[in-house]
């Protein structure tokens, strides 16, 4: 009885005895892929389309440069240049940054719906850490034209 009528196994090439250059190129490409796309800058949670600064009349007149900044979302997530921080990590981050300079300023970019309790807690933590100025960012409201229904 013939179990293998085409006898394909005898016509195959022998297995390579060592790894060739293409194998190392593939391994290097995979390592690069995971190094780049596995970083916190690519896969970390970020700002969605719903992130909007509050609109306050006269926001530009009170603008001033800040040495450090952080962003706060409605959900309570706090982002710095070091990534997502919890409250304990935020306290350490604020102390480390305040020690680095002579009463530096801090800009907080809070989303429109950030609770007042969160804003107060971050502001008091920043002042206690040694920041001289704590600035909450806002946008100037868009000027309405007669076509928009404004005066």
Question: pLDDT (tens digit, 9 = 90+) per residue, 35-64?
Answer: 777 655 554 555 555 667 778 777 777 677
Model's pTM, two decimal places? 0.60
Q: Is residue 39 part of a domain?
A: no
Cα angle value 63/111/88 (rounded, 5°): 100
Residue 151 within a domain? yes
CA 98 – CA 84 distance, rounded (Å): 19
Residue 21, pLDDT above cutoff 50: yes
- Say how many CA atoms lie within 13 Å of 74 toward its Cβ: 9
Within a domain: 18: no
Using pLDDT thresholds of 50, 70 and 90, give the confidence band for residue 91.
very high
Q: Which comes out higher in pLDDT, residue 44 or 99?
A: 99
Q: What CATH number does the domain containing 93 carry? A: 3.30.420.270
Written as six digits, the tokens of 107 are 């800009």
Residue 10 within any structural domain of the chain: no
Question: Which of 56-60, 78-82, 87-91 shows the lowest per-residue confidence on average (mean pLDDT)?
Answer: 56-60
| Structural domain total, the chain | 1
> Would residue 16 count as lying in a domain?
no
Has residue 62 been placed in a domain?
yes
Q: How many residues in total does the chain contain?
A: 151
Q: With bands split at pLDDT 50, 70 and 90, how would you rate the model's confidence at 1?
A: very low
Alpha carbon distance 151, 141 (integer Å): 15
What is the pLDDT, as a whole number, of residue 45?
54
pLDDT of 61 reads 78
Domain that holds residue 108: 48-151
Asked if the structure places residue 60 within a domain, the reply is yes
* Bigger pLDDT: 140 vs 106: 106
């Amino acid at each position: 009885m013939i179990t293998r009528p085409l006898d394909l196994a005898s016509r195959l090439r022998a297995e390579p005895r060592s790894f060739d250059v293409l194998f190392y190129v593939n391994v290097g490409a995979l390592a690069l892929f995971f190094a780049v796309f596995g970083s916190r800058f690519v896969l970390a949670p970020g700002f969605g389309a719903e992130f909007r600064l509050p609109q306050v009349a006269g926001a530009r007149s009170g603008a001033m440069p800040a040495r450090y900044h952080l962003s706060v979302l409605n959900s309570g997530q706090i982002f710095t240049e070091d990534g997502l921080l919890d409250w304990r990590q935020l306290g350490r981050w604020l102390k480390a940054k305040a020690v680095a300079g002579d009463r530096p300023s801090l800009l907080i970019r809070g989303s429109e719906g950030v609770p007042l309790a969160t804003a107060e807690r971050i502001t008091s933590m920043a002042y206690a850490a040694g920041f001289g100025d704590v600035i909450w960012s806002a946008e100037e409201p868009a000027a309405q034209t007669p076509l928009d229904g404004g005066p």
